[in-house]
Chain A
Amino acid sequence: MSTVTLYSVSYDIASLILHILGFIIPPANAALTNGNVVTGLAVLVFGVILLAASMLNTILLIWWERKLLGRIMDRRGAMHVGYAGLLQNFADGFKLFRKTTVQPREADALGFFSGPTAYLVTSFLLFGILPISSGWNSGILPLSLLLALAIFSFAPLFIFVSAWSSNNKYSLMGGMRSAAQMIAYEVPLLLAVVAVVIVAGSFDLTTIVYEQQNYWFWGPLFVALIVFVAGMLAEMERIPFDLPEAEAELVEGWNTEYGGMLFAFFMLADYLRALVGSILVVLLFLGGWTMPSWVPGALTTFPLAGIFWFMAKTYIVFGVFVWVRASLPRVRTDQLLRVGWNRLLPLSLLAVFLAATLVTVKCVWPFGCLPSMGT
């Protein structure tokens, strides 16, 4: 086995740590180098690496949004802390970290504190599922797409829990809207995913990426892409679908009562989910870490090229989300529901139909043939 996966790297790190420990404390050597202990520590290291990588990317994503939004609004974003303001978000995070957490007197403590925590934890959980490059975690989960979307759909529950236990009418309204939005957008979103699954023939994200080696799915499944992006915007609660935290109507939506670190949890989880949404778009429609064959080999074979191209695509997709945010106003609740049920649902059904047609005819001009069926 020569492929380096993230798990093999963390296993190596874990066994190295344990061997050094065993060298320092000789009596515990046998216990420490036991296979189960190494595996346990390897999983922990795996989690820590993912946590660090996702945290770093989330914070970079916030920076990317601030800079991009600034340029679209004819101004500069953060620019003082660090090079071009790269460290501004670390400073903001540190400020929030230092602040007191205020709990409203009438709030339900259990829900008030467990809501944001669970929201953040489930968002982090997604990163163990998504493959970032070919050797990331291939073959671990045959139903990883389904699992990712299932975990993604947890969020409104925790939002509603924290909104309810805040004991504030604005929070509660935000939570209600979040639930309504989820119901309106989950169906077209999943149908768009179904279109991709029909063409790829698998729920495994790694397989879906490898099925896109002849052409990326965004071309023939453009309708599904539109539905998926619209649904993702609603799932991520970003403008124009940020009704749950509409700051013009509800003070700050469901996180009105939260401040300090708990607010930072919400903020972080929001951007984590934005990152996951962009990653899913890249995985399902933009060929993941693969590049088209006309790209020169030197650009696709350097070390970590897969991760580089994957993150580049992710940031471009998130840039499109920012572009949408800078352009469009927030929709009303009735408009949101109408768009969800009246427009996106028929469109997603059309996407499923197109996908079925694509699988039936196998080859379609000008994209080419599907890899598993053409040969």
Chain B
Amino acid sequence: MATPDSAEEKPRENPVLWVARPMATAARQFAKSLFRPSTIIYPYERLEDPKFRDRVEVASGKPFGVGRVWDNYRGVHSLNIATCISCNLCAFSCPDICIDMVTVAGGDPKHPKKCPQIDYGKCSYCGFCSDACPEGCLTMTTRYELSTPKRSEMIYSPEKLNAVFHSKLPMNPIRLARPDNEDSILLDPPLCIGCNACARDCPTGCITMLDIPKPEAKPGEKLPRRIWKEPVVNDSDCVRCGTCISVCPKECLFWGTRK
């Protein structure tokens, strides 16, 4: 008479097999890995070495160039200082707040050129900065070896990132599936004082200050103290960095759809 417990019980097999079967498995594995275990001895060998090509391509099914990792790998950034417009978008978009805009040589002394400096101790390699870069000068490369004995060496200055750019590593121009910002910079005219801060700080120079007619003062009315100019944004040149909005002292610029 079968109770539920005994019904589920498997038929007893020969106890010798309990010993023999695992030992055969171990012996098979030993014979397989006697001369070449699966281990890739990392500092001396790398997964992207040509001799591991078969193993990696079979495992991933992805294209895998000889001597390099996957093309869409997100490693150390490369920065082209020459094309950087100091728009600050990379630092805005960084979720880890690991990007600082620091002054680099070769800028105008009044408005020093600022380029991103990245702290790889904090970076999560999300690629948002590279995605946000309007000029395509901040991209990610396939370099992944960053270990260093000093914490301070984890901070890569713009010059160091520029050197990565010149080392001709494969670049990964990241375009994450995020819609571009289609909004424009709009102006709230009564608030503007014509101070020129937005035009001064615009990285692309798409803001020009145009003269506006000074209204006639009605009797008893006091005209606001301001410069009689107003910013005009050229939408085709604008990279939507928002620098003008953040520098505006009167908060008269805002995002909106142009009519």
Please list the residues of chain A having a beta carbon within 8 angstroms of any beta carbon in chain B: 68, 70-76, 79, 323-324, 326-328
Contacts A75-B33, A323-B27 supplied; 12 other A-B pairs, CB < 8 Å: A71-B33, A72-B29, A72-B33, A73-B29, A74-B29, A74-B38, A74-B39, A75-B38, A76-B37, A327-B22, A327-B23, A327-B26
Query: When the two chains form the complex, which single residue of A70, A73, A79, A328 contacts B23, counting CB atoms closer than 8 Å?
Result: A328
B51 within 8 A of A: no
A79 to B45, CA, bound (A): 14
The binding surface of chain B is classed by DSSP as helix
B33 partner residues in chain A, CB cutoff 8 A: 71-72, 74-75
A73 partner residues in chain B, CB cutoff 8 A: 29
A328 to B30, CA, bound (A): 15
B22 partner residues in chain A, CB cutoff 8 A: 327-328
Chain B residue at minimal CB-CB distance from A325: B26
What mask results when residues 27 to 68 of chain B are scored 1 for a CB within 8 Å of chain A, else 0? 101101110011101000000000000000000000000000
User: Which 8 A-B pairs rank lowest in CB-CB distance, beginning with the nearest?
Assistant: A327-B22, A327-B26, A327-B23, A74-B33, A72-B30, A326-B26, A75-B39, A72-B26
What mask results when residues 65 to 88 of chain B are scored 1 for a CB within 8 Å of chain A, else 0? 000000000000000000000000
B19 within 8 A of A: yes
Query: When the two chains form the complex, which single residue of B19, B27, B41 contacts A76, counting CB atoms closer than 8 Å?
Result: B41
A68 partner residues in chain B, CB cutoff 8 A: 30
Distance (whole angstroms) from the CB of A195 to the closest CB of chain B: 21
Please list the residues of chain B having a beta carbon within 8 angstroms of any beta carbon in chain A: 19, 22-23, 25-27, 29-30, 32-34, 37-39, 41
Distance (whole angstroms) from the CB of A80 to the closest CB of chain B: 10
B32 partner residues in chain A, CB cutoff 8 A: 74
Chain B residue at minimal CB-CB distance from A324: B23
B34 partner residues in chain A, CB cutoff 8 A: 71
Chain A residue at minimal CB-CB distance from B43: A80
With A71-B33, A71-B34 in contact, do A76 and B39 touch (Cβ < 8 Å)? yes
With A76-B37, A76-B39, A76-B41 in contact, do A71 and B23 touch (Cβ < 8 Å)? no
Task: Show 21 residue pairs from A and B whose CB-CB distance is below 8 angstroms, ordered by the A residue.
Answer: A71-B33, A71-B34, A71-B37, A72-B26, A72-B33, A73-B29, A74-B32, A74-B38, A74-B39, A75-B33, A75-B38, A75-B39, A76-B41, A79-B41, A323-B27, A326-B26, A327-B19, A327-B22, A328-B19, A328-B22, A328-B23
Query: When the two chains form the complex, which single residue of A70, A76, A323 contacts B26, counting CB atoms closer than 8 Å?
Result: A323
> Of A76, A323, A327, which is in contact with the most chain B CB atoms at under 10 Å from its CB?
A327
Query: When the two chains form the complex, which single residue of A71, A76, A79, A324 contacts B30, counting CB atoms closer than 8 Å?
Result: A71
Query: When the two chains form the complex, which single residue of B19, B27, B37, B41 contacts A74, counting CB atoms closer than 8 Å?
Result: B37
A327 to B27, CA, bound (A): 9
Distance (whole angstroms) from the CB of A222 to the closest CB of chain B: 14
A72 partner residues in chain B, CB cutoff 8 A: 26, 29-30, 33
Q: Are B25 and A327 in contact (CB under 8 A)?
A: yes
Chain A residue at minimal CB-CB distance from B34: A71
A70 to B27, CA, bound (A): 12
A74 partner residues in chain B, CB cutoff 8 A: 29, 32-33, 37-39
Chain B residue at minimal CB-CB distance from A74: B33
A72 to B29, CA, bound (A): 6
A72 to B30, CA, bound (A): 4
Distance (whole angstroms) from the CB of A317 to the closest CB of chain B: 15
B37 partner residues in chain A, CB cutoff 8 A: 70-71, 74-76
A73 to B32, CA, bound (A): 10
Q: Are B39 and A323 in contact (CB under 8 A)?
A: no
A76 partner residues in chain B, CB cutoff 8 A: 37, 39, 41
Chain A residue at minimal CB-CB distance from B30: A72
Chain A residue at minimal CB-CB distance from B28: A72
A326 to B24, CA, bound (A): 11
> Of B22, B23, B26, B32, which is in contact with the most chain A CB atoms at under 10 Å from its CB?
B26
B23 partner residues in chain A, CB cutoff 8 A: 323-324, 327-328
Distance (whole angstroms) from the CB of A349 to the closest CB of chain B: 19
Chain B residue at minimal CB-CB distance from A230: B19
A326 partner residues in chain B, CB cutoff 8 A: 26
> Of A74, A323, A324, which is in contact with the most chain B CB atoms at under 10 Å from its CB?
A74
B19 partner residues in chain A, CB cutoff 8 A: 327-328
Distance (whole angstroms) from the CB of B26 to the closest CB of chain A: 4
